[in-house]
Amino acid sequence: TCFNGLGKTVAEHCEKGMKVLVHGRIHYTKWTDATGTDRYGCEIIAEKVDFLSRPKATENENPEFVDRDDEIPF
């Protein structure tokens, strides 16, 4: 879970499949659902998120084309 500016940054720049490194604390919760069953949850309260990869290019975006068929001058 990310809050405030960190949450906005992650929402704007993070996409499914990207690699991220999350620094934070673990928060455990316990609750009872409507049927009376005890439920447990665990989440990370993020303090810092490092993006380790870039988003994948979509079909609308053309990655920069590099022509590598030039002759090598040996």
pLDDT tens per residue, range 10-47: 998 889 889 999 999 999 999 999 999 999 999 999 99
Q: Is residue 32 part of a domain?
A: yes
Q: Assess if residue 21 is contained within a domain.
A: yes
Give residue 70's pLDDT band: very low, low, confident or very high (50, 70, 90).
Answer: low
Using the predicted structure, report yes or no on whether residue 3 has a pLDDT greater than 60.
yes
CATH code for position 27:
2.40.50.140
Whether residue 65 lies inside any domain: the answer is no
Q: Are strands 20-32 and 38-51 parallel, antiparallel or unpaired?
A: antiparallel
Asked, for residue 73, whether it belongs to a domain, the answer is no
Q: How many domains does the chain have?
A: 1
The pLDDT score that the predictor gives to residue 61 is 58
Q: Give the E-state strand segments of the chain in sequence order.
A: 20-32, 38-51
Structure tokens at 15: 């996409």
Q: What is the pLDDT of residue 63?
A: 56
Per-residue CA distances from 50 to 6, 42, 54, 55 (Å): 11, 21, 11, 13
- Residue pair 42/64 in contact (Cβ under 8 Å)? The answer is no
Residue 57: pLDDT band with limits 50, 70, 90: low
Which residues constitute the domain of residue 17? 4-51
